[in-house]
Amino acid sequence: MVGPPSPPVTHAAGAWLATTGVPEGSGWLYNVLTRAGVSPGTTRSILDFVVRPLWVVLVVVGAVVVAKLGAAAIRRLLGRVAHEAAGRSSSPRATARTATLVALTANLWRAAVYITAGFIILGTFGVNLTPILASATIIGATIGFGAQSLVRDYLSGFLLTLEDQFGIGDVITVGDTTGTVEALSLRVTRVRSFDGTVVYLPNGDIRRLANTSRGWAKAIVDLTLSPTDPAELDHAKRLVATAAGDLARSPRFAPSCTEPPQVMGLVGADATTCLLRVALRTSHHDRDALERALREAAIKALSEEHLWPSAAPAEPPAAT
């Protein structure tokens, strides 16, 4: 004899069963308990007060485990990349900055896992997530289409900071902008040019960057001469080399000049003049000052030997 049909479960229990993949009114656990002789009311109580809390606990424990394992993997993978980037960088802030970014990424992973677990728990208690997810999808798509450049700026800023391509105080060139970095965030970089103009560079627009404030630099000076014979040119090279050597050994520049000066010879010439180049390796802090001092010392040495071009004397006025 077939017994009376099982009464339908409550809306909350049915919604929870639906979220766990069990059809409402015919779940495997509900069927097992009712066929074992447990009354439908008791079965619903077991589902509501035993199985559901156990499921919530399982979701919470699983979220904690996944969050910790994922954060550990992120720290291991990104930490290796950050360590390599810090090894290539001469900035003392590189290690601390990369450690901060690794921790930020791990926190974002944990937040995503916990938010997902929260949605699962809400669904377990019968909260209808369809309107919420639909609204979130529409809003997310709208923001995604409207803020593509903003997302690109933040992602580029994250990578620029992670790789420590430049820092505050560095002199950089981006496109036609050259100046000193005054502020750096994940979205924008503030640069002050040499004439005092403040330029804001979105990080997403930085495609090719030149940093002149890392490691060593070279002070390069070009001298325009007008020799009348090859002997004068050789003599000018010796004079410039001596002046550059004396400057490199001076108390002012000796600590930063790590190599002897290089007289590179002629780098350009025409029918009347030639271009003589001399270079000194130094630090980026002293490069501009060393270039000015090197140019002055070379011109002084050439002028004393009458090898520096002088202005032609003015012709006397024609007699009338």
Rounded CA-CA distance 223/308 in Å is 9
Region 8-146: CATH code: 1.10.287
- Asked: is 216-304 a CATH 1.10.357.10 domain? The reply is no
Residues in a beta bridge with 218: 281
Which pTM was predicted?
0.51
| Cβ atoms of 309 and 226 closer than 8 Å | yes
85: Cβ contacts below 8 Å, ≥ 6 apart: 94, 98, 162, 163, 164
| Cβ atoms of 193 and 177 closer than 8 Å | yes
Task: Provide the edge-to-edge strand list for the sheet that holds 262-269.
Answer: 216-225, 274-283, 262-269
Handedness of CA 144, 146, 147, 149 (dihedral sign): positive
Structural tokens at position 205: 């627009």
Alpha helices in 214-282 (DSSP H): 230-248
| Cβ atoms of 245 and 200 closer than 8 Å | no
Q: Establish whether domains 167-211 and 216-304 are of one fold.
A: no
The secondary structure of residue 207, as a DSSP letter, is -
Tens-digit pLDDT profile for residues 269-319:
887 888 889 998 888 888 888 889 999 999 998 888 888 876 444 455 555
Region 167-211: CATH code: 2.30.30.60
Is it the case that residue 192 has pLDDT exceeding 50?
yes
Predicted pLDDT at 311: 46
Amino acid letter, 19: T
3-state secondary structure of 206: coil
Could you tell me the residue ranges of all domains in the chain? 8-146, 167-211, 216-304
Predicted pLDDT at 191: 93
| Residue in 160, 3, 146 with CA at minimum distance from that of residue 97 | 160
Please state which of the ranges 10-14, 87-91, 275-279 shows the lowest mean pLDDT.
10-14
Tens-digit pLDDT profile for residues 242-277:
998 888 888 888 888 888 888 888 888 887 888 889
Predicted pLDDT at 8: 44
